[in-house]
Amino acid sequence: MHTPSEAPLVGVIMGSQSDWATLRHAWDILEMLGVPAEKRIISAHRTPARLVDYATTARARGLRAIVAGAGGAAHLPGMVAAMTTLPVFGVPVESKALSGMDSLLSIVQMPGGVPVGTLAIGKAGAINAGLIAASVVALSRPDIEAKLISWRDRQTAEVAEEPVDEG
């Protein structure tokens, strides 16, 4: 569980409730690593005023990184990046119409000067966004760095040396 008394250091934001099934994988990683975080639904298209308020106040509120996921015409990560100098990690959500290719291309193709660190489509991207955000926080939090190292060690230990027949 995130420690409620600690101010959030990472913001996990998404364009819609329907994105939560994907973004919760970033949330779960942050929770497991003990990174104080907050989650919000913020739509670049449906709640633009909420977007401006969030992006322009995020750094002063103490956030150190933002994970932003959206699908389709996925402007959320780019618009947030336009209004903050915090690192923004974009997660393309897998869309129904185009399987997330639309999300990926609209997040990754930022003009030079307004960076969004773009991850893979869907669950893998959300997990890695959580891990990268945790790495940013770990730069100034040795306790979180230690948890990150332990997580990596466990992942390595879980890889068998030989394959076995499945099923």
Tell the smallest beta-carbon distance from residue 113 to ligand RP5 (Å): 24
**Residue in 43, 99, 111 with CA at minimum distance from that of residue 75:** 43
Q: Is 46 marked as a binding-site residue?
A: yes
As a whole number of angstroms, the distance between CA 56 and CA 31 comes to: 25
User: Residue 112: what residue type?
Assistant: G
**Position 18 contacts ligand RP5 (CB under 6 A):** yes
- The answer to whether 19 contacts ligand RP5 (rule: CB under 6 A) is yes
Which residue is it, tokens 């940013």? 136
Query: Is residue 58 at the binding interface for ligand RP5, with CB under 6 A as the rule?
Result: no
Question: Cβ(43)–Cβ(12) under 8 Å?
Answer: no
Site stretch for ligand RP5 (CB under 6 A), options 67-75, 78-86, 113-121, 150-158: 67-75
Contacting ligand RP5 (CB under 6 A), which of 9, 63, 93, 129?
93
Backbone dihedral angles phi then psi of residue 88, each to the nearest 5 degrees: -115, 125
Applying CB under 6 A, the residues found at the interface with ligand RP5 are 15-16, 18-19, 43, 45, 70-72, 93
